[in-house]
Structure 1
Amino acid sequence: MSILLEVLTSARHYADIPTTMAATCVFLLTYLYLQRPKNLPPGPRGWPLLGNITMLAKGHRFLTMTEWAKTYGPVYRIQLGRRTVVVLSGYDVMHEALVKRGEDFSSRPNDPVTKLINPQRLGIISAPFGTPWKEHRKFTLMSLREFGFGKRSLEGKILEESVALQAEIMKMGNKPFNIRRMVQNAVTNVICSIVFGSRFEYNDDKFTRLMDALDRGLSFNFFGQIAVFFPILRRVPGLGQGPQIMLDLMGTIRAYLREEMDSHKKTFDSNDIRDLIDSYVRETKSREKDDETTFTDGYTEMVLFDMFVAGAETTSTTLYWAFLYMILNPDIQAKVQEEIHSVLGYDKPPSTAHRAQMPYTEAVLTEVARIGTILPTSVTRATSRDTSFHGYNIPEGTAVLPNLWSVHHDPQHFPNPGKFDPGRFLDAQGQYQRDDHVMPFGLGPRICLGKQLAEMELFVFFTSLLQHFTFNLPQGAAKPTTTGINGITHSPKNFELVAEPLA
């Protein structure tokens, strides 16, 4: 920067103010250009300082990114302000990076969002690749399995919520209603049972505040994020609300988590581990004399936060997409119900053990995951070390976006990708055939920790509700759009349906 001062001092003697400002801008842009690492992937040109932000703000950013891959190839670069982000497109490239080269591409960026809401990068979702992350991910999975995670014993909790959800739907009678919040409540209560050891009544005031905070935080759109990337814009009316919404979400949920942690410590019994909090309390107590341990209250709080937010949102949004496509495709819904009733009748509760007997239902849920793609650009990765990939040099810590939409909507693999067609996942004998190109939970070492739980919830909730109800478009209502909302997740725009009880 001493060179800049010399330039400005000289400019005062030989040029007017506009010339000085122009010279300063040229110097800064040249300086930034020279600081950029060499041999990065190519990418679209952006605006000075802003990069490609304004281009991505138009429409759905994952669609724009998919189009850019046609020009710049499956590995290209975009600029979000001064941040360089490498975008991966297509199954082969993604599998190579996230699975075959998993350790190189399994960190997390220390981006402005993380700096705002989790500056210490604790927990599981935002934690960088390394020993603490590996240790807590492994411990959390072991603890979850200890009390039923991934086992049929957990189905009891899901079925309990399914019955409660059915009762809420019955209250609607023949009136049109939006099923979104009901599904959110049910799915979130399953997470509460695992993390806190208990569920809420849906009209509980504390539960309502938590769900309201979750809704506000996850509706955080692209324009709201601009003020996160450029803190000076937080002073601009309207733009500064975005960061505050995120902080409010964090504050509301973390305050509840601290309350639950304090309560669990007071009633802790090492012979009766009730939930995930108890597991962490036990482990933290066992490491009290270890000065190097990461099993602290702060770390535990962020692990619980990650479990609560991720577990509540992703599954409920997938189910919301499922009900949208059922009311838009009554013939497909009828076929699902025929299969459910042939296996379960009208009264037998569903179990994941029935999945193999319901290939069409399984195909429908796979098609929902493909066409809805609730995390179109997955969760941002980062390189864990300096990496050479496809002939390009990608420095350590560079943000990496796997564009899942480019795989799920690849017309070469999925002809007419905008059409809802469960037949894509059935063989000539009508049996379900898995397709690795559908990967809603991600790939590699960072694959979603809650994958087993989510698959269990989706199957049990979906089959139990279609076992007891037919969902229809309200009479005279216009067909809802399948164009989603571009928020933190890709979710359907609000729509209403009518639930017709079955015998």
Structure 2
Amino acid sequence: MAAAEFWASLVGENMILQTTLVLLLVFFATSWFFSNPRNLPPGPRGWPVVGNFFSLANEHRHLTFNDWAKTYGPIYRVNLGGQKMVVLSGYDVIQEALARTGDDFSSRPFNAIFKIINPRRLGIATAPFGTPWKEHRRFTLKSLREFGFGKRNMEGKILEESVAFQAEILKMGDRPFDISRMVQNAVTNVICSLVFGSRFEYTDEKFTRLMDAFDRGFHFNFFTQLGVFFPTLRHLPGMGKGPKLIKEVLGTFRSHIKEELDSHKETFDPNDMRDLIDSYIRENKSRENDNETSFTDEYAECVLFDMFVAGTETTSTTLYWVFLYLVLNPDIQRKVQEEIHSVFGHDRPPSTAHRAQMPYTEAFLTELGRAATIAPTSVYRAASRDTSFHGYHIPEGTTVVALLWSVHYDPEHFPNPEKFDPGRFLDAQGQYRKDDHVIPFGVGSRICLGKNLAEMELFIIVTSLLQHFTFKLPEGAPKPSTIGINGASHAATKFELVAEPLA
């Protein structure tokens, strides 16, 4: 009798366990079903919990995105650890979404990494679409224009930096060297002159500390990415390194910005406006009695941080690609130099006033923007509201990835896209031919704030350096790869070169 009762009890417990498991399965399946809006775009299958993370946790994720577009079409869905992302591929789709229906896709996601970088969602770069973002973007652009942003009188500051750059190159003699730190120094000093009103000497201790922070940050390996995107894993050994590193690097920049802001307050003179910080101090003072204003010191620090980091990282990365393609293509370098010398000679400082007379140089820089594509997935957008796009439902807050790589490496528009060829942008008469399919700065209302400055910097620095130097690979050195690495941007792999002064 006892045995019968035991088996009956065991069967009953198993039935309860099975029923519980079935109910849990039904619960999770139902939750998943109702938490996933219907009529989303198609996309690749993913793993439970992590989604498609393992397919994207590599240094060439833009190529994975591009391959998926060939399978699932120009609009598809991926899942990154529970975060739904819609990927837009191809020029027509990206242009329609971001330019023609731009307000629908003009926000920023609040994902794991943005929560680390900007938890209060202030500033411009990672702030959501809305009134504060519009006000500060408009105000920042207006203020920067007062200090020459995008105007020819800005050329003097860029030329000053180019002369300092040349002096550093001359110190290297005929020795091979990695030019990346010099590039960072020069580009950072240009943005410093606009934001802080002055430049640094390259040997300045504070400046060196800031540049070291650039080198330490924004480069994530696989395990670092796991800790960044999956907060629960940060408690495991080694997994908390990524978020900790990001916070340390951001802390270095923000401490410097706060010091500059405090110092400017002490010497502020409304009759002598020196830079963007002074503009913000003046504006903040004018709104002191407005309890609803977003013009506060905290917001100003975030905007200044956005300008400082974005203005340095993207342009320095692009300029480093310039040197890579120059040493790999000596014939192209020679043609650019010939054009520079025909227009400016060997001593007259270059100026954008003569840019129209330099079609080959213009074509070279355009091809550089296409081939390098330093933001292959652009800066992630987010749907500003529930949106219907090409028959698909895209809920508010959904991360939107504009795959610029798919535009720049479209073989239908750019035959043999892997080849570096400025001739793509020259007509039969050798004149420059603009192509709207080259969009390295993005499109729409979130287009890069520093586009005009970056274009001016690249033109002035490249022409002034090639006016005085020829850049070559060291004797016997293997050719560096043109396959970039994804970190904060799509960066060229490290290489060394030799700078040969021109007589």
Q: Give the Cα–Cα distance (whole angstroms) in 1 for the partners of residues 75 and 56 of structure 2.
A: 17
Q: Which moved more, 1:458-467 or 1:20-29?
A: 20-29
Does residue 340 in structure 1 map to residue 307 in structure 2? no
TM-score, length of structure 2 as denominator length: 0.95
Could you tell me whether the CA contact under 8 Å between 1:258 and 1:301 is conserved in 2? yes
Question: 3-state DSSP class of the match of 1:187?
Answer: helix
Q: Give the Cα–Cα distance (whole angstroms) in 2 for the partners of residues 191 and 221 of structure 1.
A: 29
Q: Give the Cα–Cα distance (whole angstroms) in 2 for the partners of residues 462 and 17 of structure 1.
A: 71
CA-based RMSD of the aligned residues comes to 1.6
Could you tell me whether the CA contact under 8 Å between 1:168 and 1:182 is conserved in 2? yes
Please name the residue that 1:173 is paired with. 173
Shift of residue 24, structure 1, vs aligned partner? 4.3
Q: Give the Cα–Cα distance (whole angstroms) in 1 for the partners of residues 145 and 376 of structure 2.
A: 29
Max radius of gyration: which structure? 2
For structure 2, the residue ranges without an aligned partner over 5 or more in a row are 1-10
Q: Give the Cα–Cα distance (whole angstroms) in 2 for the partners of residues 428 and 30 of structure 1.
A: 62
TM-score, length of structure 1 as denominator length: 0.95
Q: Which moved more, 1:230-239 or 1:124-133?
A: 230-239
Q: Give the Cα–Cα distance (whole angstroms) in 2 for the partners of residues 253 and 237 of structure 1.
A: 27
CA separation of 1:29 and 1:309: change in aligned 2, threshold 3 A = farther
Please name the residue that 1:237 is paired with. 237
Deviations 1:128-159 (A, max 9, x none): 11110000000000000011111111111100
Q: Aligned AA for 1:253?
A: F
Could you tell me whether the CA contact under 8 Å between 1:12 and 1:20 is conserved in 2? no
Does residue 434 in structure 1 map to residue 439 in structure 2? no
Please name the residue that 1:331 is paired with. 331
Deviations 1:350-394 (A, max 9, x none): 111121111101111111110110000000001111100000010
CA separation of 1:21 and 1:188: change in aligned 2, threshold 3 A = farther
Question: 3-state DSSP class of the match of 2:319?
Answer: helix
Q: Give the Cα–Cα distance (whole angstroms) in 2 for the partners of residues 376 and 50 of structure 1.
A: 23
Please name the residue that 1:182 is paired with. 182
Question: 3-state DSSP class of the match of 2:379?
Answer: coil
Please name the residue that 1:49 is paired with. 49
Shift of residue 15, structure 1, vs aligned partner? 5.4
Question: 3-state DSSP class of the match of 2:252?
Answer: helix
Does residue 277 in structure 1 map to residue 277 in structure 2? yes
Q: Give the Cα–Cα distance (whole angstroms) in 1 for the partners of residues 17 and 267 of structure 2.
A: 70
**5 Å matches for 1:194-209?**
194-209=194-209
Deviations 1:329-368 (A, max 9, x none): 1000001000000001110111111211111011111111
**5 Å matches for 1:362-441?**
362-441=362-441
Question: 3-state DSSP class of the match of 2:493?
Answer: coil
Question: 3-state DSSP class of the match of 2:471?
Answer: strand
Could you tell me whether the CA contact under 8 Å between 2:74 and 2:89 is conserved in 1? yes
CA separation of 1:193 and 1:18: change in aligned 2, threshold 3 A = farther
**5 Å matches for 1:95-494?**
95-221=95-221, 223-494=223-494
CA separation of 1:283 and 1:14: change in aligned 2, threshold 3 A = same
Q: Give the Cα–Cα distance (whole angstroms) in 2 for the partners of residues 364 and 19 of structure 1.
A: 68
Q: Give the Cα–Cα distance (whole angstroms) in 1 for the partners of residues 168 and 21 of structure 2.
A: 64
Q: Aligned AA for 1:465?
A: L
Q: Give the Cα–Cα distance (whole angstroms) in 2 for the partners of residues 288 and 431 of structure 1.
A: 54
Could you tell me whether the CA contact under 8 Å between 1:225 and 1:243 is conserved in 2? no
Shift of residue 165, structure 1, vs aligned partner? 0.3
Question: 3-state DSSP class of the match of 2:102?
Answer: coil
Please name the residue that 1:6 is paired with. none
Does residue 498 in structure 1 map to residue 498 in structure 2? yes
Please name the residue that 2:79 is paired with. 79
CA separation of 1:18 and 1:363: change in aligned 2, threshold 3 A = farther
CA separation of 1:22 and 1:231: change in aligned 2, threshold 3 A = farther
Q: Give the Cα–Cα distance (whole angstroms) in 2 for the partners of residues 59 and 457 of structure 1.
A: 28
How many equivalent pairs are there?
493
CA separation of 1:342 and 1:27: change in aligned 2, threshold 3 A = same
Q: Which moved more, 1:154-163 or 1:111-120?
A: 111-120
Q: Give the Cα–Cα distance (whole angstroms) in 2 for the partners of residues 22 and 178 of structure 1.
A: 61
Q: Aligned AA for 1:393?
A: H
Q: Aligned AA for 1:131?
A: T
CA separation of 1:473 and 1:289: change in aligned 2, threshold 3 A = same
CA separation of 1:472 and 1:266: change in aligned 2, threshold 3 A = same
Q: Which moved more, 1:56-65 or 1:401-410?
A: 56-65
Q: Aligned AA for 1:260?
A: E
Q: Give the Cα–Cα distance (whole angstroms) in 2 for the partners of residues 439 and 185 of structure 1.
A: 26
Shift of residue 25, structure 1, vs aligned partner? 6.1
